[in-house]
Amino acid sequence: MSPSYTLIKGSVPLLISMPHNGEQIPQGIANNMTELAKTVPDTDWHKDKLYDFAKAMGAYIIMPKYSRYVIDLNRDPDGVDLYPGANSTELCPTTAFDLSPLYLEGRQPNTDEVTQRIKLYWQPYHEAVSTTINAIKDEFGKAVLLEAHSILSHVPRFFEGQLPDFNFGTANGTSCSEQLITEINELDFAPYNKITNGRFKGGFITRQYGSPKNNVHAVQLELSQHTYMNEPNPAYDEQLASQVKPKLKQLVQCLIDFAQQK
């Protein structure tokens, strides 16, 4: 346990990271935020529920306690843009996905505040991810990282029209082996559609830790929230979720099987 994240230790060479699952905002930060921001509408809702089966399968799981509005754990701390030329949010976001302000006027975090948030929230999460991947690799000889994300199916700021249901990202094939993507693509996701390296190619974590030549394979899944929620209502829909969870379970099993191959 950590003040800023939860790490569940597993027994197989798979780590599932859920960097946008957190919903909390420290009071000192919340005092400077708009009422909308305090409801954290851009959360990757309910990833822990969607992947609740993974613990029994032996996966390692890490998830933060704090919202991406505090600091985005899937961004480069040096501010490098993941998608040059595209509209995107910052390391410490100042606007929501709908472009509404997250802070009261004149209360956005300054450079010192951003540096403090990196120290308090970003670094501990990434140290835990790195340490866990290294421990898995030391024990099993190979490690697989699944970056588990979700997003509304319509977000004009980031993409036109409706997002595919399953959006896999491998940094254009550099964060995992070609064999792993082939095995994922051979899975039956019907009736859901899928795409690989479309609008979402994998964020900072996928790109930072995926290193196939070093036997570390990282894949990001950006799941459309309409597969398990009645958008834009953030409530978890048990009926919808019960239909998509078997697809997620087969994906996790595929990743475990690949990780255990000699």
Residue-wise pLDDT tens digits, 120-156: 999 999 999 999 999 999 999 999 999 999 999 999 9
When pLDDT is cut at 50, 70 and 90, the band that residue 81 belongs to is low
Opening angle at CA 158, ends 199 and 77, nearest 5: 85
Tokens linked to 106: 């004149």
In this prediction the pTM is 0.96
Tokens linked to 182: 């082939």
CATH number at residue 74: 3.40.630.40
Question: Is residue 97 a contact partner of residue 91, using CB atoms and an 8 Å limit?
Answer: no
> What single-letter amino acid sits at 78?
D
**Range of lowest pLDDT (82-91, 137-146, 186-195, 230-239):** 82-91
When pLDDT is cut at 50, 70 and 90, the band that residue 83 belongs to is low
Q: Which pLDDT belongs to residue 79?
A: 75
* Non-local CB neighbours of 30 within 8 Å, separated by 6+ positions: 37, 38
Mean pLDDT (whole number) for 163-180 = 97
Within 13 Å, how many C-alpha atoms sit on residue 122's CB side?
23
Domain count, the chain: 1
pLDDT greater than 80 at residue 86:
no
C-beta atoms surrounding 38 within 10 Å: 15
Name the average pLDDT for the chain: 95
**Domain residues for 218?**
5-260
- 233 vs 67: CA distance, rounded Å: 18
**Euclidean distance between the first and final Cα of the chain, in Å?**
32
- 254 vs 220: CA distance, rounded Å: 14
